[in-house]
């Protein structure tokens, strides 16, 4: 049904609140950079409007450092839409500080705790190889 795939990989040894936080931030990154993937706004039976959601499934994976590094490398090589979250961002308190923390990371070896990618299914599957769906 979809030509593309969305996968979010989250470091498996994070605290639960951190996993949920990282997943939420990464999902917004995909939604922002892929407006064509957004569905229409929702409306309940009383006619109240609700926000649009991404119009395709997002698969969430538990990953070790090696899977995160692999996904990061391949997503760059393939030019896939990528959102990333680094460990230093847990110690910041706002968006500008997050961007500063991210920019301070080594470009080829950031301390990733999560990565989201969207692109052709075949390329995304190659990037996430070895990661397991989150339990």
Question: Which domains can be identified in the chain, with CATH numbers?
Answer: 4-133 (3.40.1490.10)
Taking the mean position of all CA atoms in its chain, how far away is CA 71? 11
Name the pTM for this structure: 0.94
Question: CB of 102 within 8 A of CB of 129?
Answer: no
Note the pLDDT of residue 109: 93
Note the pLDDT of residue 1: 79
Note the pLDDT of residue 76: 96
Q: Each residue of 20-42: pLDDT tens digit?
A: 999 999 999 999 999 999 999 99
Low-confidence ranges of the chain (pLDDT < 50): none
């Amino acid at each position: 049904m979809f030509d593309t795939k969305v996968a979010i990989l989250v470091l498996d040894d994070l605290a639960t609140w951190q996993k949920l936080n990282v997943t939420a931030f990464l999902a917004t990154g995909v939604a922002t950079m892929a407006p064509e993937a957004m569905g229409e706004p929702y409306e309940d039976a009383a006619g109240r409007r609700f926000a649009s959601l991404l119009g395709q499934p997002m698969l969430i994976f538990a990953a070790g450092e090696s899977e995160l590094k692999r996904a990061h490398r391949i997503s760059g090589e393939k030019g896939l839409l990528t959102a990333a979250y680094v460990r230093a961002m847990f110690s910041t308190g706002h968006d500008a500080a997050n961007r500063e923390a991210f920019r301070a990371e080594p470009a080829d070896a950031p301390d990733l705790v999560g990565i989201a990618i969207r692109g052709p299914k075949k390329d995304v599957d190659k990037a996430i190889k070895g990661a397991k769906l989150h339990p």
